Amino acid sequence: METVRRELFSIMTIGILSIGLAVVAPVSGYDFYLIGLLTSACLWVIYVVCWDLLAGYTGMLNFGQLLFAGVAAYTVALIEIHLKIPRPLTMLIGLLAGILSSLLIGLPSLRVRSTYFALVSFAVLLVFFRITLTFVETFGGDYGLSIARVFSREMLYYTSIILMAATLITLRLIVKSRIGMALQCIREDEETARAVGVNIQRYKLMACLISAFFTSLAGICGFYYMGHVGPEVFGMMGSFNVVIMGVVGGAGTIFGAALGAGALSVILEFMRPIAEYRNIGYALLLVLVVMMASRGIWGSLASYFRK
Amino acid sequence: MEKRAGRIEGPARNERARMVQTVIFFGVIWTALYCLIAFGFSLLFGVAQVLNLTHGMIIMSACYVAFLLVTGLNWSLGFSLIGGVIGSVLLILIIYLGFIKKLLTAPHTSMLLLTAGLANAIQQIVILTVGPQNKFVPTMITGGTTIFSVVLSNQQILSVIVAFGLVVLLVLFFQRTRMGRAIRAVTQDRSTASLSGINAEEMYLVTIMIAGVLAGVAGLLIAPIQTVTPEIGWEMMVTAFTVTILAGLGGPIWGVVVAAAIVAYAEIITAFLIAPTLKEGAAFVIMILTLMFRPQGLFGKGRL
Amino acid sequence: MKRGMLTVAIMGLGVLFFLAAIAGAQSAPPIKLGVNDAWDYPGGQGAKRGAEMALKAINGSGGLLGRKMEGIFYDNKVDPNEAKNATERLLYKDKVDAITGFWRSDLAIVCQPLIMEAKKLMLIGGASTPVVTFERIKQDYKTNKYTFTTMVNTYTAMIAYQQGIEEGLKLGLNKIAMVVEKAAWCDPLFDEWMKKYANKIVYSTRFSTTATDFSVEFAQVKAKGADIMVFVTTGRGGTPSVKQWYDMKIPAIYVGYSVDAQDPNFPQVTEKKCLGVVTEKIGGVSGLPITPQSIPYFNEYKKVYGEYPIAYTNGVAYDMVMAWAHGVKLAGSVDPDAVVKAMERKNFNYEGVCGEIEYFDEIHNPVGGGWGKGEPWGWVAYQWGKDGKPVVFWPKKYKDGDMVIPDWVKEMQKK
């Protein structure tokens, strides 16, 4: 609760920003395009911020963040199509599935070091990609699974804003608390952390579960928004973009990651007319940031102002 | 009654024997091809501890350069192939001197991100300049040979010969030549090596160039058997990676051969006995199992 | 000094923009066509170029209804999320009058509800999924009537794709091997053929869409003694499979459907190993005189892009946009409901590059030229002939030769 008091300023900022976003909808006359864009952006912020918890704070560079979202989305899709159970229950099962899938990279993370973890996360993601493509009857193959629209655009928009705010506040509180410190200890030096009594396994798993929790919720929200889930959710591009947004925005600072996600997904939408160059732009941006400003935009700005 | 039963069994047994032969022979071919793909990557990994994720793209660039030389400038096959190899060496030098070198002291994860970003950039450049359609590299030796009723193309046989020839050459290089031994010294302990007058930086450069040549040769031998598209870059990278991790950091060259054989046969057997569609998943599963349960690989001597 | 120059430059740009905006606002507002496809792939690139050529043709002959046509092109990178965003942007920000593109079936499925909701026309240029026409137009005509396509759905296209098998059977071959990729679009194809040719099939297998090596599969084809090999793929396996078929000396004819084999450069890319391979393509963009417009279009394309049309989507997309323009002319306005009515006329009579469209049937698939109702409009089946040129053997109206068994295959079959 100490933490809450200290972080009151951040919490209020998040709150104000969210209300601001929510107001955009009616103000713009419910412009479908704008609402759609902002809904997507909110979900990306959630993905990247959850990624940051693992990569920036715990030192687990995750190349497969969307694994959780994909598992949750496919679970919900399958239930929606095949079973007739109340929707809240469907979403709950999807959420549980997503959280469980975090063990697929959580458990390996206990055994391997950061670099190898990055590769394992990548490999697990691609195995799921293969599975959805192989069992075409169940998972729809490259067509994926589609359903008719269930929730209205506005409802999904507001839900994604609330979800984003909840994620940002929760994660911010966590990283500024004792848990956050423990995670950073683990990131810096596992041996020393263990020496001072930090239970590595417990904290790593906790980070995975929390990250998967919000990512799965975002994945479910994304599924209802698109009305569709396909193998591309387990593809390299999506999760790699999460990494780029996080690194460029600033890993290890929740807000930096959020900034990276928000900026890159909105600003580059304005660059849509030259979309052919977007992929290469992203790639070069990543190279630039890794080589020159490894703390990302937020991190660099923060250290600049601190001087 | 028995005679008839025997005759029904006969053809089926022949068929199975022929399939087993096919699997064995193609396994040999794929082992050789995977060795070729993995050599350059594992060399760099072993000597400089650099996980160069652009390796697949370097292989691919040799193919595109050769293609452009053959079709665009109408060069002869021989010169185009040499041009392709030069192309990949130039590319790897640019990547090393311009980017990798600056990050040698940074954490390995930064190297991963850097080379992954560069790899994507290279792929996009190829798509934007040459285009996404299928291209090709002309076959070096045409025709086929039949061994035990299995038909293999001469190109494939050439790849096997070159692959195993390279193994011998590399082993000789690192054991017998002065430069090879110098590189090994630098791998063991960079500072001590400098004390004995070896210029570590020079040795790294030599290693990089050898890796580039190996990548170029791999691409040019494999392309005629398959196809040249912007996707092969990442496909080859995954293979090179799996084989290298399985072989292990700091292991002997023939370790790569054994690892390549394991991956190749695992894939063929998966395709044959389980389901053809899961064939590509086999490599990933091997990667995951290796990273989790034996991160130093089969023959590795250290860990990252 | 530098700051001053920068200010001047920015102000100069601002003035330029202002002038351009004014200039743009003077003339009658252009009719906008949205194009949403994946530029990185030959199929998507083909559709994009088809739309570009159509816009050029329309604007070159005075525009549509006296107004200039403007194309707004967005790349969706084969990602449904991207496609959805691009579609919404086209509908609500750019306010286009119709949207075309959609080479990939999954993208068409995802974007259709959005476009139908906005009551704008969806002009499909390549997707063959029966869901968007067969199912959705039938089930809910009122909502989905704005969808039109010049690419017949898979069940109909099947008729073209199996011509190679039929010809093979006519030539006396009778042991079929089915080597078909595992993908949602060809599942109906595979199931139908397994049933139809059941007593002749000696081997069947499904491979991954990204596979590039078929040594194991082909060895099985050979081992089981097949003499007709049906190979179906839309992925990158087309080229390697042909090379491997030739190198391994498989004693079976190579029929089926492969996107790679439609490339006019295929003989060069496969170093002449593809001679004898059968595939199907939209005739209009294969250099064949399907209609009087086909060859001029073929040559014009080469002038503009430096190569001949590669993907079938090119012809389909071009004719789709031109057919829509024809409908707009008949209706006298761009109002979607009026255009739909015009396009449903039984005497639509549009002559395109890929064929004539006499009318669109009840699921908005085209009918006309050498293809009757329920037939794969625009598609011809051809075999790569000895001189490296395609020889069409189906449909009858455009036939210029018979399908044959390649000499080396005959040799192998004797053994």
Tell me the CATH number at C398.
3.40.50.2300
ipTM: 0.81
Subunits in contact with chain B (3 or more CB pairs closer than 8 Å): A, C
**A252 within some domain:** no
Q: What is the three-class DSSP state of C309?
A: coil
Strands (E), C125-200: 147-149, 176-181
Q: Is residue C264 located within the same domain as residue C384? A: yes
**B206 within some domain:** yes
Task: Collect all residues of chain B within an 8 Å Cβ-Cβ radius of residue A116.
Answer: 291, 295, 304
Distance CA C213, CA A180 (A): 49
Q: Which domain holds residue C83?
A: 30-155+291-367
Q: Which residue has the higher pLDDT, C151 or B281?
A: C151
Question: Per the structure block, which two tokens stand in for B92?
Answer: 């790897």
What is the helix (H) or strand (E) element at residue C99, kind and residue range? Answer: strand C98-101
Q: Is residue C169 located within the same domain as residue C235? A: yes
Indicate the residue of A112, A240, A276 with minimum beta-carbon distance to B292: A112
**C204 within some domain:** yes
Task: Collect all residues of chain B within an 8 Å Cβ-Cβ radius of residue C213.
Answer: 30, 225-226
- Chain B segment 100-119 residues within 8 A of C by beta carbon are none
Q: What is the three-class DSSP state of C288?
A: coil
**C4 within some domain:** no
Q: Is residue C190 located within the same domain as residue C245? A: yes
**A281 within some domain:** no
Name residue, tokens 């199975």. Answer: B16
Distance from CA of B27 to the nearest CA of A (A): 22
What is the number of other CB atoms lying within 10 angstroms of the CB of residue C6?
A: 10
Q: What pLDDT is attached to residue C398?
A: 87
**A6 within some domain:** yes
| Mean pLDDT in residue range C132-146 | 89
* pLDDT tens sequence across B153-173: 888 888 889 988 988 888 888
Tell me what the pLDDT averaged over chain A comes to: 85
What is the number of other CB atoms lying within 10 angstroms of the CB of residue A6?
A: 12
CB A66 within 8 A of CB A211: no
* pLDDT tens sequence across B198-216: 777 888 888 999 999 999 9
Distance CA B67, CA A215 (A): 44
- Chain B segment 69-88 residues within 8 A of C by beta carbon are 71
For A132, the closest chain C residue by CA position comes to C183
Residues A40, C81: C-beta atoms closer than 8 Å: yes
Give the per-residue SS3 of chain A. CHHHHHCHHHHHHHHHHHHHHHHHHHHCCCCHHHHHHHHHHHHHHHHHHHHHHHHHHCCCCCCCCHHHHHHHHHHHHHHHHHCCCCHHHHHHHHHHHHHHHHHHHHHHHHHCCHHHHHHHHHHHHHHHHHHHHHCHHHHCHHHCEECCCCCCHHHHHHHHHHHHHHHHHHHHHHHCCHHHHHHHHHHHCHHHHHHCCCCHHHHHHHHHHHHHHHHHHHHHHHHHHHCEECHHHHCHHHHHHHHHHHHHHCCCCHHHHHHHHHHHHHHHHHCHHHHHHHHHHHHHHHHHHHHHCCCHHHHHHHHHHHC
| Mean pLDDT in residue range A129-158 | 86
| Neighbouring residues of A76: CB distance < 8 A, sequence distance ≥ 6 | A90, A91, A93, A94, A220, A223, A224
Residues A276, B245: C-beta atoms closer than 8 Å: no
Q: What pLDDT is attached to residue C275?
A: 92
Residues A282, B125: C-beta atoms closer than 8 Å: no
Subunits in contact with chain C (3 or more CB pairs closer than 8 Å): A, B
Interface residues on B facing A, Cβ-Cβ cutoff 8 A: 51, 99, 102-103, 106-110, 112-114, 116-118, 120-121, 124-125, 128, 234, 241, 245, 275, 277-278, 280-281, 284-285, 287-288, 291-293, 295, 303-304
* Cα separations in angstroms, C410 against C23, C214, C228, C350: 68, 22, 12, 44
Domain count, chain A: 1
Listing DSSP states for C183-247 in one string gives -GGGHHHHHHHHHHTGGGEEEEEEE-TT----HHHHHHHHHTT-SEEEEEESSTTHHHHHHHHHH
The yes-or-no verdict on residue B222 having pLDDT over 80 is yes
Residues B128, A131: C-beta atoms closer than 8 Å: no
Q: Is residue C142 located within the same domain as residue C240? A: no
**B125 within some domain:** yes
Q: Which residue has the higher pLDDT, C233 or B293?
A: C233
Question: Per the structure block, which two tokens stand in for B165?
Answer: 């020839």
* pLDDT tens sequence across C55-113: 999 999 888 888 999 999 988 888 888 888 889 989 988 899 999 989 888 889 889 99
What is the number of other CB atoms lying within 10 angstroms of the CB of residue C333?
A: 12
A229: left (phi over 0), alpha (psi -120 to 50) or beta: beta
DSSP single-letter state for residue B270: I
pTM of the full structure: 0.85
**A37 within some domain:** yes
Domain count, chain B: 1
Residues B133, C213: C-beta atoms closer than 8 Å: no
**A239 within some domain:** no
Distance CA A293, CA A305 (A): 15
Question: Per the structure block, which two tokens stand in for A59?
Answer: 């030192």
**A248 within some domain:** no
* pLDDT tens sequence across B73-93: 888 888 888 999 999 999 999
Domain count, chain C: 2
Subunits in contact with chain A (3 or more CB pairs closer than 8 Å): B, C
Q: Which domain holds residue A172?
A: 2-234
**C18 within some domain:** no
Task: Collect all residues of chain B within an 8 Å Cβ-Cβ radius of residue C182.
Answer: 277
Q: Is residue C261 located within the same domain as residue C308? A: no
Amino acid identity, position C242: V
Q: Which domain holds residue B204?
A: 32-134+152-230
Residues B291, A112: C-beta atoms closer than 8 Å: yes
* pLDDT tens sequence across A223-269: 999 888 999 899 888 898 899 888 888 877 888 888 888 888 877 67
Q: What is the three-class DSSP state of C34?
A: strand
**C21 within some domain:** no
